[in-house]
Amino acid sequence: MKILILNGPNLNLLGTREPEIYGKTSMEDYLEKLQEEFSEHTLLYFQSNVEGEIINRIQQDDFDALVINPGAFTHYSYAIADCLKNISKPKVEVHISNIYKREEFRQKSVTASNTEGVLSGFGMNGYRLAILSIIP
């Protein structure tokens, strides 16, 4: 199975950006651990700070399932929400922090209703849990 892990804005800074919220592990280091654990699957990774690039990547259709952390786009990108709505593959939304314990504007996800589930507040382990929920 090919699983696309897609991160939105500023998630390229994991490990250095607000470590008290997002932890000290870089996405690259965590991806290595995930690939070891899920070696029978192909994990593809994409990160962009640009909304249109995220939409274009999702529409490439070269994966079987999607794990997406839309970052700030979670709260206002109806374009990404529409894109998610229009793909029939399994999709799980992940948030490293518990968005419901954050600022009020971060507590609403416009993208979540177009995924099978949302994991919020499990740290980087949310990506692992999302993969486990997707694989047969």
Cite the annotated binding site by residue number. Answer: 69, 75, 82, 96-97, 106
Q: Which residues pair with 4 in a beta bridge?
A: 44, 66
Exactly one of 41, 95, 100, 127 is catalytic; which is it? 95
Q: Is 41 a catalytic residue?
A: no
H or E element at residue 69 = strand 65-69
Burial class (CB in 10 A: 0-12, 13-18, 19+), 126: buried
Q: pLDDT tier at 82 (50, 70, 90 boundaries)?
A: very high
Q: pLDDT tier at 16 (50, 70, 90 boundaries)?
A: confident
Exactly one of 22, 30, 41, 78 is catalytic; which is it? 22
Which domains does the chain show, CATH number per domain?
2-134 (3.40.50.9100)
Q: Is 76 a catalytic residue?
A: no
Q: What pTM, to 2 d.p., does this model score?
A: 0.90
Cite the annotated binding site for substrate by residue number. Answer: 69, 75, 82, 96-97, 106
Nearest to 43 by CA among 51, 31, 25: 31
